[in-house]
Amino acid sequence: MGDVLLATPVFQALKESYPGCWVGALVRPATVSLLQPHPFVDEVIADDPTGAHEGWKGFWRLAGEIRSKHADVGLVLWPTRRNMKALYWGGVSNILSFGRRPFQWMWGDGIFRRRLGHLRRHEVENNLEVAGLVGASAFRPLMTISLTEEDQKFSYNFYAHHRVKVAEKVVGLFPGHGGSAVLKVPLSTYVQVAVELRQAGLKVMVGVGPSERAETEAWHRAFGQSATLWSDPDWSLGRLAAAISRWNVFVGMSTGPMHLASALGVPVVSLFTPIDGNTPRRWGPWGVPSIILTPGLPILCPDCFGNRCPYYNCMSRIPVAEIVQAVGQILSRSHGDYPHRGTK
């Protein structure tokens, strides 16, 4: 989810620089709804390697779908053998990407080295560097997502059912991590944050994924089902986005839902691990008011070494009081009705 959202400024740059060009996106089926519809994407091709495009026959079917679009240029943001080969056999005449992997030279037409320091730049900036290979740029790059009328109606009915008033401020907590976070904040921390925010008179909602059943059950035991959203497998990403768009503050780790909140213009309190490859400078919220909290360790770790590390389980070091204070700071900045600049 996050990678697709971080790519949306590239679509914006292409449309702003070349208004009449056709822009297509090759993504996995799970994220199609993030780009359908989308103001800067004309068509979405879903690469389904475990379904319609499984095996060699499926791969050639995918290449045929790409070939039917008659694309002139392919910008590869995350080079893999599969997507490079799919564009090549799909008849894309100019395949451009950054990197030095052998398969890129085999299947690509223009392979470039990134500018030094790309690991210290935001991923949106790195993606826009790829757009720059064709002279595209955006005046004010934002992550963007469109909400369908059906999803907005679902969100309205959901909050009406749970008696959330239109003018009521909602703080959303997202304790889940979907396996994308190496370390995670203890669920007990989120529960205590919710208790204190409720005592302060704020409405608190929690988002968990259908695969994170343990978190869902623990939350239900603490607050009941009325406080939970997206615990049902039937929830689509569109419904999740529409529900999060109602939040006045998002609280959670650096995961896909955090980037979804950013794309919706929702201010963020983000909890980051001290791992060097997961710095907020590269993966933090983009384009919205935000406060970053970390465990405050004296070192930046190359990776998580588990219980061999003297600071193991370091995310539990982030105090509940700091998270609650950060939420209060964002709300006090008069961003309670912050415009959803990322939606179209």
Q: What tens-digit pLDDT sequence spans the chain (344 residues)?
A: 899 999 999 999 999 999 999 999 999 998 999 998 899 999 999 999 999 999 999 999 999 999 999 999 999 998 888 998 999 999 998 888 887 677 766 666 666 666 556 667 899 999 999 999 999 999 999 999 999 999 999 999 988 888 888 888 999 998 876 555 557 888 889 889 998 998 998 999 888 776 666 667 777 777 665 566 665 666 788 888 999 999 999 999 988 999 999 999 999 999 998 888 888 999 999 999 999 999 888 777 777 777 788 778 788 899 999 999 999 999 998 544 444 434 43
Phi–psi pair at 26, nearest 5 degrees = -105, 110
Give Cβ neighbours of residue 238 (< 8 Å, ≥ 6 apart).
33, 34, 147, 148, 150, 151
pTM: 0.88
Q: What are phi and psi of 95, to 5 degrees?
A: -110, 115
**CATH architecture for segment(s) 149-332:** 3-Layer(aba) Sandwich (3.40)
* Cβ–Cβ < 8 Å for 18, 93: no
> Distance between CA atoms of 222 and 227, rounded to whole angstroms?
10
Tokens 């929830």 correspond to 235
Residue range(s) occupied by CATH 3.40.50.2000 in the chain: 2-134, 149-332
Domain 2-134 has CATH 3.40.50.300: no
Residue type, 14: L
